[in-house]
Every structure is written in structure tokens, then in C-alpha cells.
Structure 1
Amino acid sequence: MSGPEAAAGEGWRVFHATGATPRGALPRLHVAPPWRRFRGEPAQPQPPDDEQAALRRLGVVDAIPQLDPGSIDIVNAALLLRRPLLVTGAPGVGKSTLAYLISRELGLGRVLEWNIVSRTTLRDGLYSHDALGRAQAIAAWRAGLPPAATDRPDARSEESQPSPALGDFITLGALGTALLPYERPRVLLVDELDKSDIDLPNDLLHVLENGSYEIPELVRDAGQSARVHIGDPGGFAEVRQGRVECREFPIVVITSNGEREFPAAFRRRCLPLEMPMPTREQLLAIVESQLRVRPPDAEELVDHFVQLVNDGGTHSLDQLLNAVQLTSAGTFLTDADGRKLLDMVLRDLAKGR
């Protein structure tokens, strides 16, 4: 493909893996396929940015793509099709960082993180209900009524002091917040799903397919709407009739260290992305983006790191960054003792120590 056809084909890519912050108008995403369109109401305001978190993960902007062309295409396909990314790869290769790379480059605001452990349930990601706190608040409200009026049915002072609202004791989790009706998609990081209970991937199927969920406590409540806390600091959202439905399906980055297989029904709903170890040029770019400069020993350490990986060792990017930072500190010497310390920092993680 060449000429006008090549130029037209290039237009489907909105993500280029540089992490460059958009200037001026935010990048426009493709219209969702008909089977991935939703109609959630009411629309949520634009989420806040968290540049400090992005800086910790990504450092400053660099022009070199942090993914290979094939991986970039898979991410763009997931964006176009509104499907979750199931990202696998060695520990420390940068799987979770991908969520921050997408969010910064497309101007999608704060990344919502859902960190998975063996006890995590679907409800943990959707919402929590502080039933005990509400019971205590209601008891305190009732205790504040005038003592002489407590026996009269018409003596309740709702007009002057309403009872505690149910929504005040409900907080949406990372997944629940990501599924609110935003005009532009939120970025949700589901970190290390392979650590979960065996049922969680299957429990996720309905939510990933329908882009919606219900909060039973609010469904049973007589009110038509409730104001609830959300996963952004100090944020609130209106939930109508106990049901949440997205307007734009979130960009979901699910990471796995490959500790177990997922059910076929779950994998069918995701696009798989195997994260390779970055190339030498990408590693140097990552070092520069994090340290703001290229230290004198950076190239030698990157070459040593690449050799360790090529020899079959298990190593992570943060080990390389730690080693470069260490050798850049003041009067650090790479003599026998210094080399021994570097070998400890760059040790093979598969050997247990």
C-alpha cells in the first residue's frame, strides 16, 4: 500500500505510544461500533488530571515510541472496537504503565486503578456500601429528635433535619467509576487479574459486555436518584434508579503475569497483547524520560541489562532505573564493591533472592 491509500490507512491510528501530552484540541476517538454504543445518563463532567502519577510512571515526554508497531496496532484496535486489552508479559516489563501512556497521550485524565488480590470480588470493583456507618448515622439522627415528641407520628423533623441519605454511604469503586456516563472514555487499570479468585473473570463477563451494572441497595430505595461518592478524590455522581450505564465504554487495561489461564468466554471479550521487553533504544529513552538526562554510564548499563535478559534472566525495568540512578549518585565508583552492589540490584528475579 502506498500513496493516498497509505495516508488514509494511517488515519485509523490515534495512539502512537509516545506519551506526548496533547496540545490544543484533544485527540478524537473513532465512533464506537453499533454493538458497543451505550446511552448512560446523566453525563459526567471531565475527570481530573493526575500529572504527578503520570510523571512517576512515565517521566517526561520522549519522541521515541515505547511499543513496537505491532503492539501499537493492537492498542489502536482495542480503542476502535471498545474492547479491553489483556496484557501479558514478564513482571516489571511495563504492562501497567501502558494505561498511563494511553491516558496521557489521549488526554483522558486520571487513571482508575483496581489492584487485584486473591480475595477480590466483582462488587469490590463496582461499589461499597457502609451499612454500619449508615445505621450509626440514623441512630444519631433519631437521638437528636425532641424527647417529648418521639411518641407522636407527626413529630419527625425531616424538614429541618432530613435523615441520612443512602447515597452518602455508597462509594463507587474503580470499575464502577469507569462505567459512569462520561463523554470521553475513562482509563481503567485492572492490575494482575491472574491473582484473583477463579470466579472473578467469569463474574466480569456481564459488565464487560453490557457496560452497566445495578446497585441493589439503591434499586430497593424509594428515591429516583442518589448522589454517591466515586473513585476520584472528592468526586460525586448522580445514580438514577440504582442503575449505572456508561456512555463511552472505558479503555480497560487488564494485566496478567501469566500465572494461570482465563476462560475462553472471558478471552473472547478482550484483545490479547504480549508485552515484549523494550529494545535498547527504547530502554535508553525510558532512562532519559525518567532521569531527565542521559547519565554517562547509561549506555553501558543498558547494554549489560539487555545481555542479562538475552541470557534468559528475569529482570524488570525498575531494576535498570535503580542501577542507573545508583551509578549517577555523587562519587559512586564501579570498583569491585560497586560492581558487587550493581550485581545485587540487577540480580535475576527468578532465583529467589
Structure 2
Amino acid sequence: MHPPAIAADGRLAPRRPLGQTGGMKRFESTDTYVATDDLRVAVNAAVRLRRPLLVKGEPGTGKTVLAHEIAQSLGAPLIEWTVKSTTRAAQGLYEYDAVARLRDGQLGDPRVNDIANYIRRGKLWEAFVHPTPPVLLIDEIDKADLEFPNDLLHELDRMEFHVYETGETVRAAERPIVVVTSNNEKDLPDAFLRRCFFHYIRFPDRDTMRAIVDVHFPGIQTLLVSRALDIFYQVREVQGLKKKPSTSELIDWLKLLLHEDMPLDILQSRDPAKAIPPLHGALLKNEQDVTLFERRAFMARRERG
């Protein structure tokens, strides 16, 4: 028999069948986020199955923002766990601060008599005992050690873990919605992948990108956007580019074009001798790519004579 679950206030929480979704709303696009049909299907399938949603895609395609928008769309709280190269899976459960307890013991602090005073809850613990099912974002899981995903298999499967120092079992009364993002820096273990619902966010096509721009810049001039998108996608197609500009960089570039009141004739110029876009620092993020465009412009001028 399982021990009772522990609620946020320390009292016993009623048990619900894990995986139950009740009357939860469906995820749709929001006022600030354009979700494609296949993305909406993936999110709602993961919510229905209560499987972790594993999201991959180019940097800048909105993987992290997606968790924020899911929480907003479903009216759920958001708990964020940003993974780093030094992050251990156990930190998502809890950490026992033995050093602080030793120090307090030397100072005669009565708090040392209760070891629970030195247990620091991790993000999974917060998600498991939250009064309402939250959205738990495990961001950039591929940055951690290769064993990191495997070390979370039991907790994500059974939605419970044991706190050895206090002898208690922390169990989710209802599964949180788990969103896991990856930039594909490392391959994830097969055992972890089997437990996830997978979705790859493809880079937005022109129509989708136009809709994204309209969300950020309502009423923006159609011709300006059309020419800016021409240049943006041309830049992305240049062979040898080390880092292709992303959606977020397009938004920054448009913001600068509007702020600087850039004349349309500059954007409309197709002169290959001026191959570097205006305010290119918003689009090109390293010296190799800037040099590549400068070389292309030089070669065009040379061929023209």
C-alpha cells in the first residue's frame, strides 16, 4: 500500500487517478503566440496522455516560450527548471543542506532537532504538491550529463519519490503537465524517449512568420514586412552560414527598422554589391557570418567591374 500523498500545506492530499484531466481546456494559440495546427495537436495529445512533451527545434523557434503559453492558455501555474551542465537530477527532487545543519548545531540553534528544516524542495517536489496541476518546464535537458534523463525516469513515471532523511514519500495527487525542451546537443536515452510525446517545431514558413509578425506588430505596413521577410529568408538560405537568424532575431530586426524609420527603397534594393542587410547586427551573430556576407558583396562588386 502506498503511503499518503503530501499536499502543499503539509496535510494529506486526496488521491486522484494519475492521468485524469477532468475538464481542462484545450491548448490554442494565444494573443502573443502563434501555434501551428501540428503543434496544437501535439500539446493536447501530451496533456491528454499526461506524458512529458519533448520539444525539439532550432534555437529561437519558441520551445521555451511554449511552456509559458501552455500555462497561460490552460490557466495553469508555471514552474521552471532551467538545466545547466552541472545540474543533477536529484536537485529537482530536493537537497539536504548538511553544512547548514552542522553550523547551526555548533551555534546551538534548536532548529537542528528537526532535519526537515534543512531539506530544500526542488522543482519536481514543487510541481508534485502544488494545489492545482502546474505546467513544469524542464528547459534544455540536453545540457546536463547523459545520465540526467535516465535518473528522472522513476519520478516522471510514478510521480513520486522518497525523502530518505525524513522518511516521507512525496507523491503527486495529479500529474503536472511536463514540457521538456532540447536543442539536440546530445542524444537522449531511448528509455526516456519512450516515455515522452515528441514534437519537432519546424522553422516557420512565410505565412506562419507573417502571422507571428502581426502578433508582435499589429498594423505594421504590409510592404515593409514583405520585403523584410524576403531579406530574412534569403539570409537564412546563404550557404556556409554558421548561425541562421531565428524568429526572435527577425522580431528584433523589425523593431529596429521601425525605430530607425528605415526607407523602403533600402530594403527593396537587390544590389548584390550591398549584400549585407541594414542593421545586420540583429540578424548576424558572429564575425564569421559577417565576413561571409562581406566577401559575397566584394565578389559581386569585383564581377561587376
Give the 3 Å change call, closer, same or farther, for CA 39–134 of structure 1 in structure 2. Answer: closer
Distance in 2 (alpha carbons) for counterparts of 1:168 and 1:268: 37
1:54-69 maps to which residues of 2 (within 5 A)?
A: 61=31, 66-69=34-37
- Is residue 2:115 matched to residue 1:175? no
Give the 3 Å change call, closer, same or farther, for CA 168–70 of structure 1 in structure 2. Answer: same
Does structure 2 conserve the Cα–Cα contact (< 8 Å) formed by 1:84 and 1:251? Answer: yes
Distance in 1 (alpha carbons) for counterparts of 2:37 and 2:129: 32
1:40 corresponding residue in structure 2: 5
3-state SS of paired residue (1:218):
coil
Distance in 2 (alpha carbons) for counterparts of 1:86 and 1:175: 17
Does structure 2 conserve the Cα–Cα contact (< 8 Å) formed by 1:295 and 1:324? Answer: no
Distance in 2 (alpha carbons) for counterparts of 1:273 and 1:215: 33
2:279 corresponding residue in structure 1: 342
3-state SS of paired residue (1:92):
coil
1:166 corresponding residue in structure 2: 115
- Is residue 2:188 matched to residue 1:188? no
Number of residues of Structure 1 aligned to a counterpart in Structure 2: 259
3-state SS of paired residue (1:100):
helix
Q: Deviations over 1:260-301 (max 9, x none)?
A: 222211111001100011233433343343456636734432
Comparing 186-195 with 75-84, greater Cα deviation is found at 186-195
Q: Give the counterpart of 1:120 among 87, 104, 107.
A: 87
* Residue identity matched to 2:249: Q
Does structure 2 conserve the Cα–Cα contact (< 8 Å) formed by 1:39 and 1:246? Answer: no
Q: Note the C-alpha offset of 1:107.
A: 0.5
TM-score w.r.t. the length of structure 2 is: 0.73
1:54-93 maps to which residues of 2 (within 5 A)?
A: 61=31, 66-93=34-61
- Is residue 2:130 matched to residue 1:204? no
1:216 corresponding residue in structure 2: 164
Does structure 1 conserve the Cα–Cα contact (< 8 Å) formed by 2:161 and 2:169? Answer: yes
Q: Give the counterpart of 2:200 among 263, 266, 274.
A: 274
1:304-315 maps to which residues of 2 (within 5 A)?
A: 304-309=231-236, 314-315=244-245
Does structure 1 conserve the Cα–Cα contact (< 8 Å) formed by 2:213 and 2:251? Answer: yes
1:320 corresponding residue in structure 2: 250
Does structure 1 conserve the Cα–Cα contact (< 8 Å) formed by 2:5 and 2:169? Answer: no
Q: Deviations over 1:225-245 (max 9, x none)?
A: xxxxxxxxxxxxxxxxx2211
Does structure 1 conserve the Cα–Cα contact (< 8 Å) formed by 2:101 and 2:112? Answer: no
Identity over aligned residues, as a percent? 32
1:250 corresponding residue in structure 2: 176
1:27 corresponding residue in structure 2: none
Give the 3 Å change call, closer, same or farther, for CA 106–217 of structure 1 in structure 2. Answer: same
Distance in 1 (alpha carbons) for counterparts of 2:163 and 2:287: 43
Does structure 2 conserve the Cα–Cα contact (< 8 Å) formed by 1:315 and 1:349? Answer: no
2:299 corresponding residue in structure 1: none
Does structure 2 conserve the Cα–Cα contact (< 8 Å) formed by 1:86 and 1:272? Answer: yes
Distance in 2 (alpha carbons) for counterparts of 1:350 and 1:263: 35
* Residue identity matched to 1:266: F
Q: Unmatched 5+ residue regions in structure 2?
A: 11-29, 291-305
Distance in 2 (alpha carbons) for counterparts of 1:302 and 1:328: 14
Q: Give the counterpart of 1:286 among 209, 212, 237.
A: 212
Q: Note the C-alpha offset of 1:77.
A: 0.8
Q: Note the C-alpha offset of 1:197.
A: 0.7
2:27 corresponding residue in structure 1: none
RMSD value, Cα: 3.3
Does structure 2 conserve the Cα–Cα contact (< 8 Å) formed by 1:295 and 1:328? Answer: no
Q: Deviations over 1:12-40 (max 9, x none)?
A: xxxxxxxxxxxxxxxxxxxxxxxxxx973
Does structure 1 conserve the Cα–Cα contact (< 8 Å) formed by 2:104 and 2:111? Answer: no
3-state SS of paired residue (1:77):
helix
Give the 3 Å change call, closer, same or farther, for CA 218–202 of structure 1 in structure 2. Answer: same
Moved over 6 A (4+): none
Q: Unmatched 5+ residue regions in structure 1?
A: 1-37, 46-59, 143-160, 220-241
Q: Deviations over 1:106-139 (max 9, x none)?
A: 0002x22212222211112222222222222233
Q: Deviations over 1:30-64 (max 9, x none)?
A: xxxxxxxx97333669xxxxxxxxxxxxxx815xx
Distance in 1 (alpha carbons) for counterparts of 2:6 and 2:101: 27
Distance in 2 (alpha carbons) for counterparts of 1:248 and 1:44: 16
Distance in 2 (alpha carbons) for counterparts of 1:172 and 1:290: 37
2:298 corresponding residue in structure 1: none
2:76 corresponding residue in structure 1: 108
Comparing 65-74 with 307-316, greater Cα deviation is found at 307-316
